[in-house]
Amino acid sequence: MCMELKQVIYSSQPFGYDSALLSGILLDARRCNNRDGITGALVCRQDVFLQLLEGPADMVDATYERIARDDRHVNITQLVSGPIETRMFGDWDMLHDAAKSWLWSADEVADGALDRATPEDVLAVFSKLEAKVAAEHG
């Protein structure tokens, strides 16, 4: 029997963003994701988090629900959700990208770019990051 893989991408705003908050989120994510068979990537900066989670469907759903209750995130919005054939970040418990792959400026995000983004637009952010990581880590 084949295990169904699922991908969820959400955006949120960090509450009280600083390096300690980010370090805590990444530490928690990597520990829990390793335990639960989840992989993914977090694109972040002080005004926005954009996170991709992938893995067994039930574990991805449980992880997203846990994040939705986490007071370090506000205005959580699920942007993409569905089954996948293969993982984009299978070697990463949680890849961190400090918005270097970001497609929208802070002004664009403040003006609602994420509200207008299509699932394809959002996936393009992670496709770009996936290609960059592959080139760097060969």
CATH of the domain at 28: 3.30.70.100
Q: What's at 26, amino acid-wise?
A: L
- State the pTM of this model: 0.91
d(Cα 10, Cα 50) in Å, to the nearest integer? 6
Regions of the chain short of the pLDDT cut 70: 1-2, 99-102, 138
The residues, ordered by sequence, that sit 6+ positions from 108 with a Cβ below 8 Å of its Cβ are: none
**Containing structural domain, residue 39:** 5-137
Domain tally for the chain?
A: 1
Write the pLDDT tens digit of every residue in 104-113. Answer: 888 888 899 8
